[in-house]
């Protein structure tokens, strides 16, 4: 087999895999993972700001008493 034939066979195998369920499933899992990461980052940022606010309030109350 020539190098050109091997390259063509490899290309066709990759193309077939990407068209099949396996490639689609991998892409779906990657998309779901990306969405989960964005949701976690957003949630942690919101909770972090609220937590800092609560700690500041507690610190102020302790200093006043």
Distance CA 2, CA 17 (A): 23
3-state secondary structure of 65: coil
pLDDT level of residue 57 (50, 70, 90 thresholds)? very high
Average pLDDT for the chain: 82
User: Over 60: is that where the pLDDT of 23 sits?
Assistant: yes
pLDDT level of residue 58 (50, 70, 90 thresholds)? very high
| pLDDT 10s digits, 26-52 | 778 888 999 999 998 888 888 888 888
Q: How many domains does the chain have?
A: 1
Q: 6 phi and psi, to 5 degrees?
A: -65, -40
CB within 8 Å of 6: residues ≥ 6 apart:
none
Burial of 5 by CB count in 10 Å (0-12 exposed, 13-18 middle, 19+ buried)?
exposed
Structural domain boundaries, residue 21: 3-64
Per-residue model confidence (pLDDT) at position 65 = 57
Per-residue model confidence (pLDDT) at position 18 = 65
């Amino acid at each position: 087999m020539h190098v050109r034939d091997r390259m063509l066979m490899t290309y066709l195998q990759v193309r077939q895999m990407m068209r099949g369920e396996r490639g689609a499933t991998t892409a779906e899992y990657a998309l779901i993972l990306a969405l989960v990461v964005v949701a976690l980052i957003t949630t942690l940022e919101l909770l972090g700001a609220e937590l800092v606010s609560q700690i500041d309030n507690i610190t102020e109350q302790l200093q006043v008493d």
